[in-house]
Amino acid sequence: MSGSVQRTWKKAKEKMVWRWAVLWSAIAAIALALLASTRVANRLSQQSGVGRAMDSHSQYGNGRCTNHDSPSLYLPSECYADPASYVTLTVDAMRFRIPAAYFGPHLLKATTERENIAPLTAFPFWMPDGRPSLRDMEALTITEWRKPEEGWPPLRDDQHVVMVRSLRPLRPGDGNLTPYETLKQMRAQFSDGWPRQEDEFGLAKFKHLAAPENFEYATFDDGDQQVRITCYRRIKFPHGLFDCQGFFYSRPDELLFNIQFLADYMKDWRAITDQALKLARAWKAAGEIKQQ
């Protein structure tokens, strides 16, 4: 086999590996997004027999508040949590005390009255101040991330919704990979190391080989705070929306976020990740105080 044929074959093989990597990454992202949807809040309401018994025999209607499977079924208003109340939630031995407003309008009141356990949590918040979105998380699509809440004035340019698709602990040795480690593994698949195109927004920028309209942004070292975010051109979405989704890891806090936001705000990635981390730190501190 001649040198030119070998090089052509090698490039074709790398491109095929890349296409499979993109496919599996997309499948994983979809699965994780489904797992971390509004149904996280619903599962909190049914996660233990003790919880179900509490719902069935509480003061809230002798079973009227126990149909958790369909948020579209309108239960009596007394079944739902006060947005000003709190959910106590343990995620992999890390305890949080989270305002109920971040779980949307269909969180059951009983969830705020007991200890809850879940593999992760998910929530939307508004930039730049971290306020919760009071809309239904399941109905909050990408087309609404720049629409004001009911009763709000028109939005400023810096106001938009960020979706935290998952928040969970990531500790050394637990078998999960940091954003830097996943980037390192991906680059190892290519003879040219999947070269960076340029630096932008203080991050290394890579163009996808199989989808040149998409871009990958990442921190390029194994530091205390790491990001790896992909920005996609969502042609099937209305208005050709362009959004970014990926992972942010804070080593000192041992927290891994899967975040999603509109690509117009990629330039503000640091403010977005700082705000997400600020919320998580406050909720973790509140959970630790409550436990004492």
* Tens digit of each residue's pLDDT (9 = 90 or more) over 91-115: 999 999 999 999 988 889 999 999 9
Residue 236 has pLDDT above 80, yes or no: no
| Length of the chain (residues) | 292
Identity at 127, one-letter amino acid code: M
Calculate the CA dihedral of residues 203, 260, 163, 92 and round it to 10 degrees.
-80
pTM summary value: 0.77
Q: What is the DSSP letter of 140?
A: -
Domain ranges of the chain: 5-35+120-291
Q: Among 60, 64, 61, 82, which residue's Cα sits nearest to residue 73? A: 64
Range among 28-42, 207-221, 233-247 rated most confident: 207-221
Ramachandran category for residue 172: left, alpha or beta (phi over 0 → left; psi -120 to 50 → alpha): beta
* Tens digit of each residue's pLDDT (9 = 90 or more) over 188-213: 776 565 666 778 999 988 876 667 77
Q: What is the pLDDT of residue 136?
A: 80
Cβ–Cβ < 8 Å for 51, 110: yes
Give mean pLDDT, residues 240-260: 91
Strands 198-200, 160-169: pairing kind: unpaired
At residue 92, what are phi and psi to the nearest 5 degrees? Answer: 50, 55
* Tens digit of each residue's pLDDT (9 = 90 or more) over 78-88: 889 999 999 99
Q: What is the pLDDT of residue 29?
A: 47
Q: Among 130, 216, 245, 226, which residue's Cα sits nearest to residue 170? A: 226
How far apart are alpha carbons 271 and 261 in whole angstroms?
12
Judged by average pLDDT, the poorest of 69-73, 136-140, 288-292 is: 69-73
Judged by average pLDDT, the poorest of 1-15, 162-176, 180-194 is: 1-15
How far apart are alpha carbons 249 and 253 in whole angstroms?
9
Q: What is the pLDDT of residue 209?
A: 65
- DSSP letter string over 184-244? HHHHTTSTT-----EEETTEEEEE-SS-TT-EEEE--S--SEEEEEEEEE-TTSGGG-EEE
How far apart are alpha carbons 291 and 177 in whole angstroms?
30
